[in-house]
A and B are shown apart, each in its own frame.
Chain A
Amino acid sequence: MEYSITLHVNGEERIVTVRPADTLLYTLRKLGLTGAKPGCLNGDCGACTVNVDGWPMKSCLMLGVEAIGKKVTTIEGLKNSPIQQAFVENFAFQCGYCTPGFIMNCQALIEQHPDADDQTIREWLESNICRCTSYIEIEKAVKSVLQRKE
């Protein structure tokens, strides 16, 4: 059983046909937004992280229908933001599969806690896994953007 819903994604109203049992991750990919990556599909790896109303959300842990009325931002919605630039400047990725999820988590951190201390940064970043182990560079990238805001 499928029906049409309207989602607010990256500043646009998008109509998509879903089953209520479809996750937001699957729903977004149906819209052609493939930046959020399927990884563990179990809420562990963070590769599918998007932002919902300004907070990081593992899109494999949310149903598409739950996003009705919320503002969803995916990596495609950032468009060369400071945190994306910082990832490039700090070599904060290798294979790149986890990168969209990390960037969306970092973007939410910068918005919610522009004065984040080391403990807060680490607590937030623990939600994502990078098997190429770029953790130090990722931490440097997010700190470089936080410092620019100060």
Chain B
Amino acid sequence: MLPFDFDYFKPDTLEEAVELFQYLDHNGKQPMFFSGGTELITLGRIDLAYTEAVIDIKEIADCRVMSLNGGQLLLGSTLTLTEIEETNLFPLLTKTASEIADHTARVKITLGGNICARIFYREAVLPFLLADSQVVIVGPEGKKAVPIHEIFHEQLLLNRGELLVQTITESRFIRAPFFAIKRRQQWETGYPLITVAALKIDEKVRVAVSGLCPFPFRSKEVEIALNSGQSIEARVEAALRVLPRPILDDVEGSADYRLFVFRNILTDALYKLEKERI
């Protein structure tokens, strides 16, 4: 139960959702798009999130798309992580998503909700960063497809009243060899320490990371180092020297420990993906 009241709206179309947001925003209702809604419910309970109007977009048809044809994979933003796992159209995404929260929670958490989350892990974005995907955004200015690298810098940079509708990914990326691992402080449950997703395409390794810095990232400098042709260990050390900063240093793990774990994960990833070359 949330300690504040809000109005609940469930529009049928994107146009309706966008217009509703503008109307409610104009009337000072601090509207919020709501998909899985887990972040509003959990943060709202402890006064870290607030709204006077919830716009539930989870049944809008454009946001429910899941199709693979014409060489493109379309995934709607309100698909739940469980739906994505069970269908398994993008194995790297399946593997990465299957480590988020726990199984029952993933029945509620949606793809768009995770990518747009306030909590900084946002692991579901990693496969899309690796695959140079496009994201479809709708807002007061209409609908547009944007390369993810133009709009995702630490977080998805949506303007007020815009929402994520779909991701578009070329099928050659979803068939590429990949590596994905999540390390926690202890055992199989709890908050992540580091999540790494890697993919090999055109004989080059790509790497995207969550939990090392206070934002998920894919770094051109890191990938240049990892594909430089030296020994795996030398490439990993070179990659560590060009990491974005700051390195997280908190109760889940010190900065030094995170770098230690990351070094080992990167090494494992390269050994696994190098094997794919043989």
Q: Which A residues contact B (CB, under 8 angstroms)?
A: 1, 19-23, 26, 41-43, 46, 49, 55-58, 60-63, 65-66, 105, 123-124, 126-128
Do residues A62 and B108 form an inter-chain contact, with CB atoms below 8 A?
A: yes
Please pick, from B1, B36, B102, the residue contacting A21 in the complex, using a CB distance under 8 A.
B1
* Segment at the interface with A among B38-46, B138-146, B197-205: B38-46
A31 to chain B, nearest CB (A): 15
Q: Given A20-B8, A21-B6, A42-B42, are A57 and B188 neighbors across the interface (CB < 8 Å)?
A: no
A58 and B108 in contact, given A20-B7, A65-B8 (Cβ under 8 angstroms): yes
In the complex, what residues of A have CB within 8 A of residue B56's CB?
A: 66
Q: How large is the interface on B (under 10, 10 to 19, 20 to 34, 35 or more residues)?
A: 20 to 34
Given A61-B37, A65-B8, A126-B102, output 6 extra A-B contacts at Cβ < 8 Å.
A20-B8, A21-B44, A23-B1, A43-B101, A63-B8, A124-B104
List the B side residues contacting A21 at CB < 8 Å: 1-2, 4-6, 44
Q: Identify 30 residue pairs between A and B in the complex whose beta-carbon atoms are under 8 Å apart, listed by A's number.
A: A1-B7, A19-B5, A20-B6, A20-B7, A20-B8, A20-B54, A21-B2, A22-B1, A23-B1, A26-B1, A41-B45, A43-B41, A43-B42, A55-B82, A55-B107, A56-B104, A57-B104, A58-B108, A60-B41, A61-B42, A61-B108, A62-B37, A62-B41, A63-B41, A65-B8, A66-B37, A124-B104, A126-B102, A126-B189, A127-B103
- Any chain A CB within 8 A of the CB of B105? yes
Taking CB as reference atom, which chain A residue is nearest B38?
Answer: A61
Give Cα distance in the complex from A49 to B103, angstroms.
12
Considering residues B4, B41, B42, which has the most beta carbons from chain A within 10 angstroms of its beta carbon?
Answer: B41
| B4, A127: Cβ atoms closer than 8 Å | no
Chain A residues with CB under 8 Å of B108's CB are: 43, 57-58, 61-62
CB distance from B82 to the nearest CB of A (A): 7
Question: Which residues of A lie under 8 Å from residue B105 when comparing CB positions?
Answer: 43, 58, 61, 127
| B180 shortest CB reach to chain A, Å | 15
Check if B7 sits within 8 Å of A126, measured CB to CB. Answer: no
- Choose among A21, A26, A49 the residue with the greatest number of B CB atoms under 10 Å from its CB: A21
Please, which residue of chain B has its CB at the minimum distance from the CB of A22?
A: B1
Q: Residue B41 contacts which of A23, A57, A105, A123 (CB distance < 8 angstroms)?
A: A23
Q: Which residues of B contact A60 (CB under 8 A)?
A: 41
Give the residue name and chain of the B residue nearest to A1 (CB). B5
Q: Using A55-B107, A56-B107 as known contacts, say yes or no to A43 and B6 having CB atoms under 8 A apart.
A: no
Binary CB contact string for chain B from 1 to 23 against chain A (1 if under 8 A, 0 otherwise):
11011111000000000000000
Within 8 A of A (CB), among B49-104: 54, 56, 82, 98, 101-104
A43-B38 CB under 8 A given contacts A20-B54, A26-B1, A55-B82: yes
Residues of the B chain whose Cβ atoms lie less than 8 Å from the Cβ of A62: 37, 41, 108
A49–B54 contact, CB under 8 A? no
What 10 A-B pairs are tightest by C-beta distance, nearest first?
A: A20-B8, A127-B104, A21-B2, A127-B102, A56-B104, A26-B1, A127-B103, A55-B107, A124-B103, A61-B38
Q: B38 to chain A: which residues have CB within 8 Å? A: 43, 61
List, in ascending order, chain A residues with CB within 8 A of B4's CB.
21
**Chain A: minimal CB distance from B127 (Å):** 19
- Identify the interface centre among B1, B2, B54, B82: most chain A CB within 10 Å of its CB: B1
CA distance in complex: A20, B56 (Å) = 12
CA distance A58 to B42 in the complex (A): 12
Q: Do B104 and A42 touch (CB < 8 A)?
A: no
Q: How far is the CB of B29 from chain A (nearest CB, A)?
A: 13
Q: How far is B54's CA from A19's CA once the two chains are assembled, in angstroms? A: 12
